[in-house]
Amino acid sequence: MVSTKEGVSLSDYQDVTGKHVIDELRVIAAHVEGRRLQNINSTAVGGGVAEILTRLVPLLRELGVLATWDVIKGDQNFFEITKAMHNALHGKPENLTPAMLDHYRATTESNLRQMDFHGDVIWVHDPQPAALIARRKQSGRPWVWRCHIDVSTPYKPVWDFLAPYVEQYDAAIFSMPDFARPMHIPQFMVAPSIDPLSDKNRELEPGTVERVLRKHGVDPGRPVLTQISRFDRLKDPLGVIAAYKLVRKRHNCQLVLAGGDAPDDPEGAAVLNEVREAAGTDPNIHVLPLPPFSDLEINALVRGSTIVFQKSIKEGFGLTVSEALWKGKPVIAGAVGGIKLQVINGHTGFLVHSPEGAAQRAMQLLADPGLCRRLGENGRLHVKQNFLLTRQVKDYMLVMLALDHPAKDVVHLN
Amino acid sequence: MKSMNHHEPFHFHTERRLVQLTGRSARTVPELLAILREISGASVFYHTHHLFLSHHFEKPVVYNDFADWVGQALQEDALAERLAAIDLLAFTSIRQLREAVIALMEAHIAAGGARARECPAGDEFHFCKSKSFIMPTGIVAEDPADFFRKVRGITNVSLYFHFLEARLRLERPTNDFSHWLRGRGEAGMADAIDRLDPYVVTLDELKEQITEVGRRHGVN
């Protein structure tokens, strides 16, 4: 079981969200108090799911929900298979051989033997542990598949392999309607969220921001364009470099490409090499592969940026967008996936479809600091209302309640 | 809400909503129409009402998802205008509302519209619905004067529930406020609130209009 910090309490969140938000959580919590909510995913560090669970679990516990978090075990081969599965669910043709599928099943079997399924409701995150559903009948409790990725247009052979597992769940949760697909089980929408008090998002002293920029050779006195994301082709880091090169013709700016690696992302190293090659010897491009636990540095890099890119070609939800908006930064982002819920075009940032479009919007923003400020203020408000952790805590408790009343659209509670 | 006797206080409720996905989506008007014929009433209500509870950086021209999608994704402006102009206050059931939306789409298709229009990939219309959890707020009005004092302090979600959701989704004959006031013998105030159109103002503005009804009748 993963041990989570309990150093931050609901009262700390109240300072950010306002009292009414916390009061609302307590009202809902009264209806699910004492229940054991067991989360299961594939990694304790790295990636958005682990980040959120780190804080979500202790908050649920403070509200009286007995939330726990377990991580499945797998070797490198298993995580390479599930990475290929992840890409295939995003639509990329990936040939999963019978031997690979056998290894997936064998790893699942091994985890089934080792894990203790103690939850009153069991929340399985993403495809890696999805086949654990084999234990559902034995447990006799509701199982929920919390899918953080877009499975709307998957590579069919891989979905055909996964679907028989998924259809055994009592419900599925997707981050947005576009990610779902017709299934025989109830599907709920719960957008992911950011933690405003985490090292990645909390307020920082200006001196800290400047120190981090200088540490990485970034000049705080000149415009900084930044993309924070894993080194993943779907995040289009090469497109960001192409956009930067266009902007650079008019503005004396710098580019930061920073991101961490997760243990379940073996493809990252290859992409990092491609990025370094494209950056060449340009001293104004800073490629920063950051180790785990670099959240404070990422926070400082974003706060020290003038504009933040998230030029994804395909995206799960793209929480780095909300992280930048929360810091009052205008965001230029690919019009894909969950980004479309976060970047309200022209209000919190700009949606683009090409490196040229990204460059044109960046030049517009660099020429108009007032516009930068307005978009940043709107962005922070938008995140406060929709994408903070407290909203996700509320939605998860509502899903627990929904499982009690599967047939009703309107549920009266006392 | 139960039928009320003359002395029953008004219990303000609120709701928490969870969006439920149907997994069904449309790329054209005929596809939208086909799904609309079979989808649950909860989905029709969701797509014609949920935007009233959202924050907007600019006041929207259209609160109706069907109209918005037909205009934005399909560029079918005439149909979008007609869908946006549907008078939600004219209906007392989701069934009637659904039929009105269907009739407009059928007429559009019959007139030769939407033959070839298909939305760009990624802009499909996804049918959703909401699962609502109704809870008491703990705020209780003992009499009409107390009601008008307390209605000022309720949240927009509570107002939405008693005014929009109660009338159309739960198919009550009127909004909860008018129903209760009428039961207390205050037909004038009940009728005045019943005449308010919640679809042309924001929820904050609606709350102010309700408060004004009380002022005009000298009870607050």
Contact A54, A4 (CB under 8 A): yes
Which of residues B107, B128, B149 is at a domain's end?
B128
> Is the per-residue pLDDT at B115 higher than 70?
no
Class of domain A206-386: alpha beta
Residue B24 C-alpha, separation from nearest chain A C-alpha, in angstroms: 6
**For chain A, which residues make up each domain, given as ranges?**
10-193+388-404, 206-386
CB contact under 8 A, A187 and B20: yes
Do A76 and A136 meet the contact criterion of CB atoms below 8 Å apart? no
Whether residues B71 and B145 fall in one domain:
no
Whether B4 is in a domain gets the answer no
Count of other CB atoms within 10 angstroms of residue A261: 20
Of A336, A381, A411, the CB nearest to B133: A411
What is the DSSP secondary structure assignment for residue A119, as one 8-state letter?
-
Q: Closest to A189 (Cβ–Cβ): which among B40, B58, B128?
A: B128
Q: Which residues contact A117 (CB under 8 A, 6 or more apart)?
A: A38, A132, A135, A139
Q: Is A309 helix (H, G, I), strand (E, B) or coil?
A: strand
B203 or B168: whose pLDDT is higher? B203
Asked if pLDDT for residue A220 goes beyond 80, the answer is: yes
Helix, coil or strand: residue A122: strand
What's the whole-number mean pLDDT along residues B31-55?
91
Does A10-193+388-404 match A206-386 in CATH topology? yes
At A177, is the pLDDT very low, low, confident or very high (cuts 50, 70, 90)? very high
> How many of the other CB atoms lie within 10 Å of CB of A252?
12
Domain count across chain B: 2
- Whether B2 has its CB under 8 Å from any CB of chain A: the answer is no
Q: Sort strands A285-290 and A254-260 into parallel, antiparallel or unpaired.
A: parallel
pLDDT at A59 over 80: yes
Place of tokens 């309720």: B154
User: What are the residue ranges of helices labelled H in A72-143?
Assistant: 76-89, 98-114, 136-139
> With 80 as the cut, is the pLDDT of residue A92 above it?
yes
Q: Do A414 and B20 touch (CB under 8 A)?
A: no
Strands of the sheet with A307-310, listed across from one edge: A285-290, A254-260, A224-228, A307-310, A331-334, A349-352
A315 — contact with chain B (CB < 8 Å)?
no
pLDDT (average), residues A67-89: 95
* CA A327/CA A202 separation, integer angstroms: 9
Per-residue pLDDT averaged across A31-36, rounded? 96
Residue B53 touches chain A, beta carbons under 8 Å? no
* Chain B interface, best mutation among A21, A375, A411, by max B CB count within 10 A: A411
Q: Is the pLDDT of residue B89 over 90?
A: no
Residues B117, B136 within the same domain: no
* Chain centroid offset of residue A410 CA: 30
CA gap A241, A227 in Å, rounded: 10
Higher pLDDT, A380 or B166: A380
**B189–chain A nearest CA distance, Å:** 28
What is the rounded (10 degree) CA torsion for A154, A160, A163, A165? -130
DSSP β-bridge partners for residue B134: A412, B15
Lookup result for tokens 């198919």: B171
Exposed, middle or buried by CB within 10 Å (0-12, 13-18, 19+), for A7? Answer: exposed
Interface check for B136 against chain A (CB to CB < 8 A): the answer is yes
> A409 and B130 in contact by Cβ < 8 A?
yes
Q: Which of B128, B160, B192 is a domain's end point?
A: B128
Residue with tokens 């200006």: A206
Q: How far is Cα B123 from Cα B109, in angstroms, rounded to an integer?
A: 21
> Percentage of chain B with pLDDT > 90?
68
Contact A187, B23 (CB under 8 A): yes
Q: How far apart are CA A303 and CA A48, in angstroms?
A: 19
A174 near B CB under 8 A: yes
Give me the residue from A174, A381, A402 closest to B21, CB to CB. A174
In a domain, B5, yes or no: no
Task: State the average pLDDT over residues A91-118.
Answer: 96
For residue B202, the enclosing domain spans: 10-15+132-216
Spatial distance between the Cα atoms of A281 and A11, rounded to a whole number of angstroms: 49
Q: How far is it, in rounded angstroms, from Cα A192 to Cα A30?
A: 23
How near does any CA of chain B get to the CA of A156, in Å? 17
Inter-chain CB proximity B23 and A187 less than 8 Å = yes
Beta-carbon contacts of B160 under 8 Å, excluding residues fewer than 6 positions away, are: B15, B52, B53, B203
**Distance, first Cα to last Cα, chain A:** 35
Give the best residue of B18, B72, B172 to mutate against chain A (max A CB count within 10 A).
Answer: B18
Rounded to the nearest angstrom, the minimum Cα separation between B217 and chain A is: 32
Between A237 and A314, the more confident residue is A237
Looking at the structure, tell me whether residues B180 and B156 fall in a common domain: yes
Do the beta carbons of residue B15 and residue B165 sit within 8 Å? yes
| Same domain flag for B119 and B34 | yes
Cα A356 from chain centroid (whole Å): 26
Asked if A347 reaches chain B (Cβ–Cβ under 8 Å), the answer is: yes
Task: State whether residue B43 sits within 8 Å of chain A by CB.
Answer: no
Q: Do B120 and B176 lie in a common domain?
A: no
Contact B122 A336 (CB under 8 A): yes
Bridge partners of residue A189, in order along the sequence: A174, B19
Task: Mark out the alpha helices in B111-202 (DSSP H runs).
Answer: 144-151, 156-160, 176-183, 187-194
B165/B141 same-domain check = yes
Q: Are residues B163 and B207 in the same domain?
A: yes
Q: Which residues of A fall within a CB distance of 8 Å from B17?
A: 398
B2 belongs to a structural domain: no
Q: What is the distance between the alpha carbons of residues B185 and A348, in angstroms, rounded to a whole number?
A: 50
Contact B135 A27 (CB under 8 A): yes
pLDDT at B3: 47
Q: What is the pLDDT of residue A5?
A: 62
Report yes or no: B23 at the A interface, CB cutoff 8 Å.
yes
Q: Which is more confidently placed, B41 or A137?
A: B41
The CA radius of gyration of chain A, in Å to the nearest whole number, is 21
Fold that domain A10-193+388-404 belongs to in CATH: Rossmann fold (3.40.50)
**Closest residue to B57, CB basis, from A335, A347, A405:** A347
State yes or no: pLDDT of B2 exceeds 50. no
Q: Measuring CA to CA, which residue among A68, A8, A61, A12 is closest to residue A33?
A: A61
CB A348 within 8 A of CB A331: yes
- Name which of A276, A256, A25 is nearest B16 in CA terms: A25
DSSP letter at B58 equals S
* A413 contacts chain B (CB < 8 A): yes
The alpha-carbon gap from A329 to the nearest alpha carbon of chain B, in Å, equals 17
Looking at the fold, whether B121 and B31 belong to one and the same domain comes out as yes
Average pLDDT, chain A: 93
Q: What is the pLDDT, as a whole number, of residue B5? A: 56
A241 pLDDT exceeds 70?
A: yes
Do B76 and B125 meet the contact criterion of CB atoms below 8 Å apart? Answer: no
Residue A317: pLDDT band by 50, 70, 90 thresholds?
Answer: confident
Q: Is the model's pLDDT at A348 over the cut of 60? A: yes
ipTM: 0.87
State whether residue A186 sits within 8 Å of chain B by CB.
yes
Q: What is the pLDDT of residues A269-303, one digit of tens each?
A: 889 999 999 999 999 999 999 987 899 999 999 99
- A349 vs B41: CA distance, rounded Å: 35
Instruction: From B88, B109, B128, give the residue that closes a domain.
Output: B128
A402 and chain B in contact, CB less than 8 A: yes
Q: Once rounded to an integer, what is the mean pLDDT over residues B5-17?
A: 86
User: pLDDT tens-digit profile of A384-393?
Assistant: 999 999 999 9
User: What average pLDDT score do residues A324-347 get?
Assistant: 95
List, in order, residues 6 or more apart from A10 with CB less than 8 Å away. A22, A25, A59, A62, A63
Burial of B24 (0-12, 13-18, 19+ CB in 10 A): buried
Size of interface A-B (CB pairs under 8 A): 82
Task: Residue A190: list chain B partners with CB under 8 A.
Answer: 18
pLDDT band at A264 (very low <50, low <70, confident <90, very high): low
Asked if B16's CB is within 8 angstroms of A28's CB, the reply is yes
pLDDT at A3 over 80: no
> Does position A197 have pLDDT exceeding 60, yes or no?
yes
Q: Which residues neighbour A387 within 8 Å (Cβ) at sequence distance 6 or greater? A: A191, A192, A193, A194, A319, A322, A326, A342
- Report the C-alpha gap between A146 and B152 in whole angstroms: 39
Stretch B88-111: mean pLDDT? 92
Same domain, B59 and B103: yes
